[in-house]
Amino acid sequence: MLERKGSILSVREDIKVFDCTIRDGGLVNNYQFSDEFVKAHYEACVASGVDYMEIGKNVSPTIMSEDEYGPWNFCKEEDIRRIVGENNTDMKIAVMSDIGRSLKEELRPKEESVVDMIRIATYIHQLPAAIELIEDAHAKGYETTVNVMAISKSFDDELTEVLNQLAQTPVDVIYIADSFGSFYPEQIVKLTEKYLKIAEASGKKIGIHAHNNLQLAYANTIEAMTYGASFLDVTVSGLGRGAGNCPMELLIGFLKNPKYKLMPILKFIEEFIVPLEKELDWGYSIPYMLTGQLNEHPRPAMKARDEKNTEYREFYRDLLKE
């Protein structure tokens, strides 16, 4: 069994607070954030000591429509620079690549970009394509992570094989992604042990990306951290698809490193999240709980929320039928 790393009062220098508010939040509003919103968010992250900010996805405009999706679905260099300038801060900028939607031909070399890190999100069946993107981004000078999605549906030996293959790549961080928000803390401990064993042998770090379907996003994040995960994904007020993510303000309130500050996040929440809550729907609710408990994609729950459907028994019966 794994040892806990550090105590509840210790400062662990390996911890990285990773903000993905714009990227995961963009799934709620098709990346239609105003520049004012993204700029204020960027400044809040810098002021609060966040280590990385993921500003969106680098989907190719040849594949998804710029009429339908806002700029943060594409993350053109000029759009990012309009917000962060040269980003002369201690915070690094990340962008997420989707397999089949992000094209390596469109990724410029690191020295021509203000972006520091490329995060590759992949399903298990897309692994060879993900490895191509990892190798390309690494060769171009970026830090890289890989988020293997939907692992709660995979077999253990299949996941082992995936991790062994990723250990051979130059990727810097391998993420435990709880795509359906269905994992319990004791399962997260076992996953952390499994990931860490393979990753540490090849000099990589482990990250955790949790969802809040069972009100466990924060608990699972600190559990993974306690047992050795160091890249911790959060979003302000949990803004993100479906039941949302681990709230940044909870994690910052827990970490003892004095570099992290709560006040700038509270400012951003006051000024930008309070009004947004009247427009957009995200966060824990009964339909997300039900898809989480059944280890299913939140898609039907998103539909129920869109339709303001509170006929929970019928919703549950339909889920059980599938």
Sites of contact with a copy of itself (CB under 8 A): 4, 8, 184-187, 212, 214-219, 222-223, 226, 247, 249-250, 253-254, 262-263, 266-267, 269-270, 274, 286, 289-290, 293, 310-313, 316
Amino acid in position 204:
K
Name the residue nearer to a copy of itself (CB basis): 126 or 215.
215
CB of 307 to a copy of itself, least distance (A): 14
Q: Which residues contact 286 (CB under 8 A, 6 or more apart)?
A: 310, 312
SS3 call for 154: coil
CB of 296 to a copy of itself, least distance (A): 13
CB of 210 to a copy of itself, least distance (A): 11
Name the residue nearer to a copy of itself (CB basis): 142 or 282.
282
- Look up residue 58 and give its DSSP letter: -
Q: At residue 118, what are phi and psi to the nearest 5 degrees? A: -110, 125
* Token pair belonging to 185: 């803390």
Name the residue nearer to a copy of itself (CB basis): 67 or 308.
308
Q: Which residues pair with 234 in a beta bridge?
A: 19
**Would you say the C-alpha torsion 264, 266, 270, 276 has a positive or negative sign?**
positive
Name the residue nearer to a copy of itself (CB basis): 162 or 217.
217
CB of 30 to a copy of itself, least distance (A): 26
CB of 152 to a copy of itself, least distance (A): 13
* Token pair belonging to 20: 């993905």
Name the residue nearer to a copy of itself (CB basis): 68 or 271.
271
In degrees, to the nearest 5, what angle opens at C-alpha 223 toward C-alphas 120 and 238?
60
Q: Which residues contact 257 (CB under 8 A, 6 or more apart)?
A: 11, 12, 13, 15, 49
